[in-house]
Amino acid sequence: MLLMSGCSVPGEPSHLAHSTWRFVSIDGEQPAASQAAIVFDEQALDANVGCNALGGPWRTEDDRIIAGPLDQTEKFCEGPVWAQEKAVGALLVAAPRFELEGDTMVLRSNGHTAKLQRENVGG
The residues, any chain, with a CB within 8 Å of residue 9's CB and separated by 6 or more, are none
Give ∠ CA 14-26-73 in degrees, rounded to 5.
75
The string of pLDDT tens digits covering residues 52-98 is 999 999 999 989 999 999 998 888 888 899 999 999 999 999 999 99
Kindly report the pTM of this predicted structure: 0.83
Let me know: does 7 contact 62? Beta carbons within 8 Å: yes
Phi-psi region of 72 (alpha: psi -120 to 50; beta: other; left: phi over 0): beta
The string of pLDDT tens digits covering residues 12-29 is 457 899 999 999 999 999
> Can you give the residue ranges of every domain in the chain?
4-118
Burial 78-102 (b: 16+ CB within 10 A, else e): eebbbbbbebbbebbbbebbbebee
Q: Which CATH architecture has domain 4-118?
A: Beta Barrel (2.40)
**pLDDT the model gives residue 77:** 86
Question: What letter does residue 70 receive in the DSSP assignment?
Answer: -
